[in-house]
With several copies, the nearest count.
Chain A
Amino acid sequence: MEYNLIVNQEKKSIDAVISDQNIKVQTKSKAYNASFMTISDYHILLNVDGQNFNAYVWNDGGTKTVIIKGRSYEVLDADLVEQNSSGEKSFASNARVVASPMPAVVICVLAQVGDRVKKGQGLVIVSAMKMETTLFAPFDGTISGINAKEGDKVMPADILVDIEKD
């Protein structure tokens, strides 16, 4: 069976033959002989070509965070991503808006609708966990909408400022 996966933003195709607890994997350049054991809800012991690897896996709505030897990998199924994103706004549209990179509280809005702004100009100051962060204009443009005011609690998906690109 072919898997089209995205590992840390990079597309990778691998072929896996599965029988019971054994997985034979073929990537572009390498072949692996693996088996696995479930240790607990989030912990899988992998044996890959005779070497032990402890993988800790959290499945967050399709994207799996996998920690191996202290390093974390974000792995998702590329085919599923394509299905889901067809018909939706592409990610590129994010470039036209300003959003908070984290759950935060709005400290101060530095611009208003209709303002002409330059790339790098501070638009909103947010605060999370006692740290202030300034959100900047990603390009020159005109502000077409502001959806946040001082004291608002905002999430990463929230669009705080819309900018019409020049």
Chain B
Amino acid sequence: MFDKILIANRGEIALRVINTCRDMGIKTVAVYSDADQKAGHVIFSDEAIYLGPSEPSLSYLNMDGIIAAAKQTQAQAIHPGYGFLSENHEFAQRCRDEGIVFIGPTAEVIRNLGDKITSRKIMVAGGVPVTPGLIHCETEMIALMDAAEKIGYPVLVKATAGGGGKGIRIVNSPEEIGEAVASASREALKAFGNGEVYIEKFFSKARHIEFQILADKHGNTIHLFERECSIQRRHQKIIEETPSLALTPELRHKMGAAAVKAAKASHYENAGTVEFLLDEGNHFYFLEINTRLQVEHPITEMTTGVDLVKHQIEIAAGKKLGLRQKDIQPRGHAIECRIYAEDPEHDFLPSPGKIRFMKEPTGPGIRNDCGVYQGFEVPVDYDPILSKLVVHAQTRDQAVSKMIKALQDYIVLGVKTPIEFMMDVLNSRPFRNSEVFTDFIETHFSGWKADRDLADVAMIAFIADALGGARTNAHSYSSAKETASPWDTLGNWKL
């Protein structure tokens, strides 16, 4: 087993990995950028190595710097988390060349599956159904428009290297295709270093169902059941749950078998996720395999009792998977809400800034994988995820109630969050009835405004606060060095 692991990531997922490493007695090395000097993953690692400026390309995407940090600290393995270099096959190869274990699949597997076109080809050959669309990249606008016409609008323009909601655009008519391609391509180029795009059918009334898989180096592959991830904004999941109410035991069995088949067809190893679209006729289509730990992995951990990060590390170290398919017996219902620094009343625009006060929800069946803390400055440079709030209960109804309670108890002052929005989604009749499709937010919560019925109590609080005297000036004790602006440490801002 490894003595020391470097985590090539930041925020909540870096802390998530640190957590399991500490459980396993493995030392941890964090890496960080200028914006993250006081980030949680820096504070709670055993060692922290500075990478460079805040721009991802100079820090968390900086392969040379990360490899050098691993060598300097004698870390034997690198956990990439999600995003950044997690699905970068060159980085996986580079690690192997340098004698460092990359905790994930091999470079070949990542390359094949990371390219949506190649993976679609593998699945077609392996007998796994894929969504209608191109199985090659296309830059010619005329060819793209032809294909779109053939598939039928609406279609999706997708970056072959995309993921996490980035590099993806819905196109409803030929007029929109040009700007969609340009913008998806630019976004993907910036985020993943590859701007190639293709198109596939867009199902406006579909569910996003994914299966967690674990595969060791010795040919053992199992699935850990599904996650329902249909609630999305800007094509990024925000609420996930397991089990999915859309699956009958038969369909679940069939999709689980297809997921294992997809993993074996691609010679998969380590933890991964097979994503399917499920249409209204209960047909499922392979979307992609995410060759990394998924943001929403905790709901699977809650229902199966399995620590996925521990198995990732053990598999990477060459251990045999100790679990057989029949050992995986999910129990109860789990839900995750992603808490971003964003403003749901204004199109989910990011809301960076200093967290003035934070109180995390606690209690039986509540888990909050959190990367920030009171006093931390949420930087403008990265994905604005603050934490993943997860609950587990015996039934779906109980889990929904528990999540609403947890959201009510989650206090964040200083940046905006979707907490109220989540409460309303969970309380809504379509969610309660599990009528969740990928267009859920647009259909039911477009132009959402919070229903704030305690304005009178808020006014009383305003007055009580004014009467509190010294207390309300609490931040005045801060040293003179500290200022109210989140920007003064960030260099050449135009102010």
A-to-B contact residues, CB < 8 Å: 3, 5, 7-8, 10, 12, 14, 16, 18, 21, 23, 25, 27, 30, 32, 34, 36-48, 50-61, 64-73, 75, 101-105, 128-133, 148, 152-155, 158
Contact = CB atoms under 8 A, between A and B. Distances in A.
Nearest to B351: A102
B459 A12 contact: yes
Nearest to A13: B459
Interface of B: 37-38, 42-48, 166, 183, 186-187, 191, 234, 341, 346, 349-353, 356-357, 359, 373-375, 380-384, 407-411, 413-414, 419-420, 423, 450-452, 454-465, 467-468, 471-472, 474, 484, 486-487, 490, 492-495
Given A44-B464, A69-B408, A133 B357 contact: no
A21 B341 CA distance: 31
Contact of A56 (B44, B381, B411): B411
Given A57-B461, A130-B166, A73 B454 contact: yes
A8 B354 CA distance: 22
A27 B457 CA distance: 11
25 contacts: A12-B455, A23-B460, A32-B460, A42-B474, A48-B460, A51-B46, A58-B413, A58-B414, A66-B458, A69-B408, A71-B420, A71-B423, A75-B458, A75-B461, A75-B462, A101-B349, A102-B349, A102-B351, A129-B341, A131-B350, A132-B187, A148-B494, A153-B380, A158-B494, A158-B495
Given A50-B47, A70-B423, A44 B357 contact: no
Contacts of B486: 103
B494 A51 contact: no
Given A69-B454, A71-B450, 13 more contacts: A14-B459, A40-B373, A52-B42, A52-B46, A57-B472, A60-B356, A64-B465, A69-B408, A129-B350, A129-B380, A130-B166, A153-B380, A155-B487
Contact of A129 (B45, B48, B384, B458): B384
Contacts of A66: 458, 461-462, 465
Contacts of B382: 129-130
B458 A55 contact: yes
B266 to A, nearest CB: 28
Contacts of B493: 153, 155
- Pairs of residues from A and B, 3 with the lowest C-beta to C-beta distance, nearest first: A55-B461, A70-B408, A73-B458
A59 B465 contact: yes
A39 B494 CA distance: 28
Contacts of B411: 56, 67
A96 to B, nearest CB: 20
A146 to B, nearest CB: 13
A37 B494 contact: no
A157 to B, nearest CB: 9
Nearest to A107: B186
A48 B457 contact: yes
Contacts of A70: 407-410, 419-420, 423
